[in-house]
Homo-oligomer: A and B are copies of this chain.
Amino acid sequence: MDERTHALDPALVRDIVAAALAEDRAAFDVTTQATVPPDQQGQATFLYKADGVVCGLDLAREVFAQCSPDLVLTVRHPDGTWVESGAVAAEVEGPLAAMLSGERVALNLVQRLSGIATMARRYVDEAAKGGPARIVDTRKTTPGLRALERYAVRTGGARNHRNTLEDGVLIKDNHLAAAAARGIGLAEVVRLAREHAAHTLRIEVEVTEAEQAREAIEASADVILLDNMPPEQMRDIVAAAPPHVLFEASGGITLDTLAEVAATGVHLISAGALTHSAPALDISIEVDAAATSAGPSGSTGQQE
């Protein structure tokens, strides 16, 4: 992870974690409240049971802090670290009951984000074999978790495409079709976008054929998205274009074909799979209970 990378917005982390704990009704954990006294202490480790990129420890810290202000998480391998199976990425210490009530929510978040970061790392490494193209994500994210998943993509070493419908102009087939139905061609659609969008945005156009790409370049589009094209065709289009035009490849690209696509000279390769299909990484929380309570000075939080 680039050392310039800024952490997740703390307010966002707080809200997502609070919603997740409420959804699980962690404050009403009948099993734990019936069987574990509030003052029993314990310790837990985040054990990575598969190789991958650590991601989401700030979320885990927030989960436990919301369960009890006395739960303290210590990071051993910070977000962005590649660890091997058997590594302990972090430890938690404090009231055991609160720890048990938050465990599932913490894992649900960390496993998902570590899974995405791990897949992003694999994509980046594979693409690098073909060329210098950036791997970027898409808007095919889990509703409610986009900011987290984009963070995981960055943590894995890939980059983010536009975040929302507001911070990028991307003229897709449906926009072109809508215009065509009104008798308006691609060049005029690019002009409309240039005319109405803020001047701070580039204009990107999705094309499926070489002829369309040429038309878009002529209309001064800044970025051309080549959708579902064979690598050779992409190479030809890129080679024929002026050097200031950017190309993004998208559609049906897998880990197997990534290097080949990167070798075509495209500048960006976008992959919905990063956020859409990354399997959760296998991680567990191993708990170690203490026999005794924290003692008179061990706990000063408001749960007392």
Contacts of A193 in B (CB 8 A): 30-31, 34-35
B165 to A108, Cβ gap below 8 A? no
Give the complex CA separation of A242 and B197 in angstroms.
22
A10 to B202, Cβ gap below 8 A? no
A171 to B7, Cβ gap below 8 A? no
Q: Interface digits, A250-276 against B, CB 8 Å rule (1 contact, 0 not)?
A: 000000000000000001100000001
Contact of A142 among B29, B112, B277, B289 (CB under 8 A): B112
Contacts of A31 in B (CB 8 A): 165, 168-172, 175, 193, 197
A144 to B16, Cβ gap below 8 A? yes
Flag whether A72 is at the interface (Cβ < 8 A).
no
Closest chain B residue, CB of each to CB of A192: B35
Flag whether A280 is at the interface (Cβ < 8 A).
yes
Closest chain B residue, CB of each to CB of A8: B27
Give the complex CA separation of A16 and B108 in angstroms.
19
Given A97-B6, A280-B276 in contact, is the A204-B200 Cβ separation under 8 Å?
A: yes
Segment among A117-125, A155-163, A209-217, A233-241 that sits at the interface with chain B? A155-163
A201 to B199, Cβ gap below 8 A? no
Closest chain B residue, CB of each to CB of A107: B140
Q: Interface digits, A274-304 against B, CB 8 Å rule (1 contact, 0 not)?
A: 0011011000000111110000000000111
Q: What would 20 more interface pairs be, CB under 8 Å, given A30-B166, A40-B181, A276-B280? A: A2-B196, A3-B37, A4-B37, A11-B66, A20-B144, A28-B164, A30-B201, A33-B196, A34-B195, A36-B179, A104-B139, A104-B165, A134-B199, A142-B142, A181-B291, A182-B289, A199-B204, A199-B246, A201-B201, A202-B222
Flag whether A232 is at the interface (Cβ < 8 A).
no
Copy count, this protein chain: 6
Contacts of A161 in B (CB 8 A): 198-200
Give the complex CA separation of A70 and B9 in angstroms.
14
Flag whether A71 is at the interface (Cβ < 8 A).
no
Give the complex CA separation of A25 and B42 in angstroms.
33
A268 to chain B, nearest CB (A): 6
A28 to B175, Cβ gap below 8 A? no
Question: What are 26 A-B pairs with beta-carbon distances under 8 A?
Answer: A4-B37, A4-B196, A11-B18, A19-B143, A24-B165, A25-B165, A26-B165, A30-B169, A31-B170, A35-B171, A36-B179, A37-B182, A40-B182, A42-B181, A100-B178, A101-B165, A104-B139, A143-B145, A160-B198, A162-B200, A163-B198, A166-B167, A167-B201, A199-B268, A200-B201, A202-B202
Contact of A29 among B166, B223, B289 (CB under 8 A): B166
Given A23-B144, A174-B100, A289-B177 in contact, is the A7-B201 Cβ separation under 8 Å?
A: no
Interface residues of A in 99-149 (CB under 8 A from B): 100-101, 103-105, 107-109, 112, 134, 136, 139-146
A197 to B30, Cβ gap below 8 A? yes
Contacts of A144 in B (CB 8 A): 16, 19-20, 23, 143-145
